[in-house]
Amino acid sequence: MAGQRERPEQKIANDRSLTAYQRRCYALLLNVPSGKVVSYGDLAKALKNTGARAVGRCVGANPYAPEVPCHRVVRSDGKLGGYSGGINKKIKLLRSEGIEVKGGQIDGFQEKRHRFN
């Protein structure tokens, strides 16, 4: 498949249909590894001068899911947040990466939280 050779970072950088904000946001999100999650607010802090709601709106428009792992973006209280492809899909993807969701809460949320350095 032709589209698969190019690395995600490059696809993002080259896609002119994305806003500059989307490119920054998705590029950062690619640093969050499988098995980890990150909150909308933490992503916002790492992006500087932006807000959690803007991040939510932005990842909600992610055209490269799940390659750009917006399913790893969750709420700061350990709840799931949303998913454009349906919340069930988000749960499934997370579970496939070793993250369990019980009663609407991420199991072991704090330990599985990614920290930007």
Residues that bind DNA (CB under 7 A): 19-22, 39-42, 49-62, 65, 70-71, 73, 75-77, 81-85
2 vs 17 by CB, closer to DNA: 17
Q: Which of 18, 68, 70, 101 is catalytic?
A: 70
Residue 2 or 109 with smaller CB distance to DNA: 109
- The three-state secondary structure class of 114 is coil
Residue 70 is among the residues annotated as catalytic for this protein: yes
Q: What is the β-pairing status of strands 105-106 and 101-102?
A: antiparallel
Apex 77 CA angle, 84 and 19, nearest 5:
40
Q: Which is nearer to DNA, 1 or 17 (CB)?
A: 17
First to last CA, the chain: 35
Query: Quick one: CA dihedral 90, 95, 97, 100, positive or negative?
Result: positive
Smallest gap from residue 117 Cβ to DNA (A): 18
Residues known to be catalytic:
70
